[in-house]
Chain A
């Protein structure tokens, strides 16, 4: 303590991510007002987020009016892949940032003709940790796990499992080739989140995509 001064404790209760959450609320209000259903897709690097969106966009052609925001550390590759299936794609380069934040989504929404959109996909940066804690204003959080990551990944990432409105288990075509214990994966999920639906999908073979499309249309 400095000479002659005094020490005071100031109690506060304020969310650390309050500033982000306020922008997220603006995004959410705008998307809801426009009747746009929005999905924040969160999964590990290489789990198949872009592949899933490619096959989803293909399946939605002529049926829904999608737009995609895609967060990536350094490249434009995912955006280029998705632009083949959708004319409203915005690539968000996050540089060092390992997750998207609400203000990046706010800016990207300004680059989209929202009048021509009824479904918004946000491919978050490949990472199972930080993206969960940063609200973007999405209607639903979708967690994407894949068989090649191993059956313990739900248990190791409880925040995503708990926060997800839907879980997708991708690369299900590889089940016969891997020692992935599907029931152990599901048991871990159920302990953390008894209600979340789990859909087995394959972005490459198209297996299970019908159920995912139905979920998007509900």
Chain B
């Protein structure tokens, strides 16, 4: 998280910040920011979207992120909450086929959308090829970031196929290739604390090769 602020200051600030956000969950009063509107006064709104092929109608506090709607309301806890600020990628899901950070999107902004989470990609009996490749290549250790990594990886291969350029392309007008350098650059929004990066890139290249 601190990488997006300032290493020196933000580490301190961040530690203070995360303590404060823990405090907010447990105690009603804190000095930094007063408790927001009481739950009973919070504006609620209906929203309907499809998750993994299943229609859902919810009535939500407008503040509910897509991530919290998935985890806390639909109990699809495969999608993980890491930093909750778009910095780690653990919350990556597919919305209408595109990968996004579910934590930086309000649930009410997704009326009518089709959402795919890790639970919708494959099942334990019938793994998605990317899930199988992650298992085969040891693309994880603790596994916390893995659902986000896999959703992101599936989308990356589609993005390369669609010709979406990347920072590591020498000729941005040309077609991107399925190289390890491309995988690494395009996966940079998914942080892995265990450092499984090289195995993740290998898993992706295998799936890309199998499909290409």
- Decide whether A and B are members of one complex: no
Residues of chain B having any CB pair with chain A under 8 Å: none
